Chain A
Amino acid sequence: MKYTPSLPEKNDNISDHRHPLVQLFILLVSLGGIFLLVFWLLVFFVDMAVKSISMENEAKIYTQIGELWDYEFPADPIKPELKTLVDQLIACTDIPYPITTRIIDDDDVNALALPGGNILLFAGLLDSVRSENGLAFVIAHELGHFIHQDHLRGMGRGAVLMALSIAFTGADSNISKFLTPTSQFAQAQHSQKAESLADQTALKILNCHYGHIGGATEFFDWVKNMPKGSLQKLEKVSHYFSSHPQVEKRINALHHFSNTHNFIMGEVRRLAKETQD
């Protein structure tokens, strides 16, 4: 036996000689693609299931969390003028459960619809709108979320997302972080669609209550025409628009929808000082 000193010409112990970044890219695209595909498929079933749940049953689901909102958002008592407006708008919908409106003493130009028929109006919003119709549109938009059962859909999507993240990556895995942008992309798409639908419903409610849709774009116009220097205020508004379609796009969509439904513009009512206070 003789020893011949030599080194191997190539390293057979490394199977994949592609650049690590290329490997990462291929793996990420594949994982993201499969994740989105399964996510959308499951979400399709969630949406089907939501359709079969009546609004009455949906309200029952939320009875448990009603007290939580009382604790989280201790509401200021709302003015009778505002309550009347909200009640009149509800009369234009088929929402079977009571709606509670809360004023939050905060500068945020924001409004939220919380599960269980709770609408939060931030003081900053009341200061920003000029007409009753403008405010009515924002409230009607939040009512639109209740009509479309968006919270139930959101909960369903949240459950699907959590289940998929765990199934794909394990409960506490580093690669779940890769799925963050993918899931945010999927969620944002849903949110934008939900916001557009809520806008359309708001127009219908506005038309039902006033007989016209005057003042519908007032709030968006205010945001659009805001001076560019007022960044601080923009930040507060941006929260409301974070999952919403861009303002310009949203205004155009409103005009388009009102044109196709032959809604007419009319005189807006000045917002009563008492409502704003």
Chain B
Amino acid sequence: MGQFVLFLILMTLGYLFGHYAEKKHYKSINKREKELLKLPVISCKNPIGNKSISHVKLSYGNVVISVDYFKRILASLYNFFGGNIRSYETLLDRARREAILRLKESVTDADQIINLRIETSSIYKGKGNSIGSVEVLAYGTAVYFEKRNQNR
């Protein structure tokens, strides 16, 4: 029974801290996404428009997020019944968006980011092969157009 009480305490702490962290993170993501909206990031190989390119550079954004105890337990319950594991969906959604934001933030002076690619991997396997932490890497090519006034 003592083990069960400890488990409940961990669950409660996991829920409280995890919920707070997620809420705070989403708030930050939404705010920063609005701020960086004007910088196009696309998955096409070629930039939008016919402007001549001055130079390009590789840019990437990387994030590692850990699963809290509550989410892990909720996911293991979903493993039994099947269905969408919502607790992991929010985790990966946050990780992907954060990685793209970091990618954008690394090249705020670029005109476009093309050829966006996203890769996900679990960098730590928890107990019994359950997911511990996820890494999301977003990378692309930052394109800088030639400025007309510079040409003259």
A177 to B72, CA, bound (A): 13
**What 0/1 pattern do residues 79 to 118 of B give for CB contact below 8 A with A?**
0110010110110110000000000000000001000000
Given known A-B contacts A2-B48, A13-B89, A174 and B80 have beta carbons under 8 A apart? no
Shortest B92–chain A CB gap in Å is 8
Q: How large is the interface on A (under 10, 10 to 19, 20 to 34, 35 or more residues)?
A: 20 to 34
Enumerate chain A residues within 8 angstroms of B87, measured Cβ to Cβ: 20, 23
Of the candidates B7, B40, B90, the one whose C-beta lies within 8 Å of that of A3 is B40
Q: Is A68's beta carbon under 8 Å from chain B?
A: no
A24 to B3, CA, bound (A): 20
A18 to B93, CA, bound (A): 16
Within A15-40, the residues touching B (CB, 8 Å) are: 15-16, 18, 20-21, 23-24, 27-28, 30-31
**Interface segment, one of A76-84, A164-172, A224-232:** A164-172
Shortest B107–chain A CB gap in Å is 16
Shortest A20–chain B CB gap in Å is 6
Q: How large is the interface on B (under 10, 10 to 19, 20 to 34, 35 or more residues)?
A: 35 or more
Contact (Cβ within 8 A) A15 B33:
no
Instruction: Using CB atoms and an 8 Å cutoff, list the residues of chain A in contact with chain B.
Output: 1-3, 5-7, 11, 13-16, 18, 20-21, 23-24, 27-28, 30-31, 168-170, 172-175, 177-178, 180-181, 184
- In the A-B complex, list the 7 residue pairs whose CB atoms are closest, starting with the nearest: A16-B86, A15-B84, A27-B77, A3-B40, A5-B37, A177-B7, A13-B93
Instruction: Using CB atoms and an 8 Å cutoff, list the residues of chain B in contact with chain A.
Output: 1, 3-4, 7, 15, 19, 33-34, 37-38, 40, 42, 48-49, 70-74, 76-78, 80-81, 84, 86-87, 89-90, 92-93, 112, 127-128, 130
